[in-house]
A and B are shown apart, each in its own frame.
Chain A
């Protein structure tokens, strides 16, 4: 992101977008989807407060660069297809 304070703007100003600020590093538990149990209802995708679940090839896929591991997806999944695994 920056090498030293000299590369930084004077205050907390984003220089561009969130691409460099990977909030996934905050996570203690990672959600893991068991695709064999998934019924593709996409409730996890709807509930993710960080928009960190994408749909790829008709399956929900977690973006671990930004997922903070809140566990809402695992809690909402009607088929218990998402497990929270300690990092």
Chain B
């Protein structure tokens, strides 16, 4: 069944379709309508879940951690400053290896106060041990929620899906909601090996001396290696079951190309339009939309880079003192295989500034000669 809905409603319908058993969330613009919708699902008995009202995002994540440790499927949603307030608990969820799933509506960090699209909030959480998948449209928000639980529960990691503020969160699109029995079959009930259970007692999160902490860190990294495979496997299975295939990278018209444009999130939709126009004129350019930022698909990037003589990266984020984050990670992926391709870095769209087709065409034209570490696009 297709319904017209915003990205936020697609996230809420996604959590409902996954039969999340505990929802703990705190409202924040522009995420609020996700938790409002979930609250109404629970209030109207459309969703069999415990809805926990909390006093902060830190507590929301803490409640999800407790719920997940007890063997429940836990869900939350947040944005911007709310995600920053969760920071400590993000480490807890990952370190405890709990498959909590959250939607983060990507919003610019304050100050100055802003509510518009920017990846600065989620990128800042990259080292907390969460899987991060960036969505392009509302259908993908719904679909990724289902995939995310399956991936996270398989590898034992928490997962964050990111949708751009307003561009997706408050824009209505057609979203196909699949039959519930098909979703239930694809995503069976969560059943962890270890959980808080009075019949079989364990202590969780105890002090770990230098003797074994190191090994537990190794195991988290191993889980990310597994996640890299699972994102591909689950994305393929999802395609077989529901007709829409996903993976680490969405490669758009990447056959026979000499230039690769790399983007993430909703700007890739605009990017695809540009690619279509340029392809019509005979230009050999394709687009790689990076879905999975953590784990970072290094090998896939290398394989693509080997096919081209130029890479153009558009970052809607900046790591101050360094540069565009996707740019940096792409470049570092190339080093080990000595792939000497010029990589152009554009910082664009911070704080929700529009990135138009003309902007993207302009960036492609500007990508010539010796690359610089940062090109600020449209700086006034």
Interface residues of chain A, those whose CB is within 8 Å of chain B, are 1-2, 4-5, 8-15, 21
Cross-chain contact of A8 among B202, B204, B205, B215 (Cβ < 8 A): B215
Residues of B within 8 A of A1 (CB): 212
Residues of A within 8 A of B212 (CB): 1-2, 8
Known: A11-B97, A12-B208. A5 touches B203 (CB 8 A): no
Expressed in whole angstroms, the Cα–Cα distance for A11 and B68 within the complex equals 14
Residues of B within 8 A of A12 (CB): 95-96, 204-208, 216
Residues of B within 8 A of A5 (CB): 215-216, 218-219
Q: How far is the CB of B344 from chain A (nearest CB, A)?
A: 41
Q: Is the CB of B203 within 8 A of A11?
A: no
Q: Is the CB of B202 within 8 A of A14?
A: yes
Residues of A within 8 A of B178 (CB): none
Q: Is the CB of B156 within 8 A of A14?
A: no
Told that A10-B219, A11-B205 touch, could you supply 18 new A-B pairs with CB distance under 8 A? A2-B212, A2-B215, A4-B215, A5-B215, A5-B216, A8-B216, A8-B219, A10-B216, A11-B95, A11-B97, A11-B216, A11-B219, A12-B96, A12-B216, A13-B202, A13-B203, A15-B202, A21-B206
Q: Is the CB of B97 within 8 A of A14?
A: no
Main secondary structure of the interface of B (DSSP, over half): loop
Expressed in whole angstroms, the Cα–Cα distance for A15 and B202 within the complex equals 6
Main secondary structure of the interface of A (DSSP, over half): loop
Expressed in whole angstroms, the Cα–Cα distance for A6 and B130 within the complex equals 22
Interface residues of chain B, those whose CB is within 8 Å of chain A, are 95-97, 156, 194, 202-208, 212, 215-216, 218-219, 223
Residue of A nearest to B223 (CB): A10
Residue of A nearest to B215 (CB): A5
Residue of B nearest to A9 (CB): B194
Expressed in whole angstroms, the Cα–Cα distance for A1 and B212 within the complex equals 10
Residue of A nearest to B218 (CB): A5
Expressed in whole angstroms, the Cα–Cα distance for A12 and B207 within the complex equals 8
A-B pairs, top 3 by smallest CB distance, nearest first, are A5-B215, A14-B203, A10-B97
Expressed in whole angstroms, the Cα–Cα distance for A15 and B194 within the complex equals 10
Q: Is the CB of A11 within 8 A of B218?
A: no
Residues of A within 8 A of B97 (CB): 10-11
Expressed in whole angstroms, the Cα–Cα distance for A41 and B223 within the complex equals 54
Q: How far is the CB of A16 from chain B (nearest CB, A)?
A: 8
Q: How far is the CB of B296 from chain A (nearest CB, A)?
A: 21
Residues of A within 8 A of B218 (CB): 5
Q: How far is the CB of B203 from chain A (nearest CB, A)?
A: 4
Expressed in whole angstroms, the Cα–Cα distance for A2 and B212 within the complex equals 9
Q: How far is the CB of A15 from chain B (nearest CB, A)?
A: 7
Residue of A nearest to B95 (CB): A11
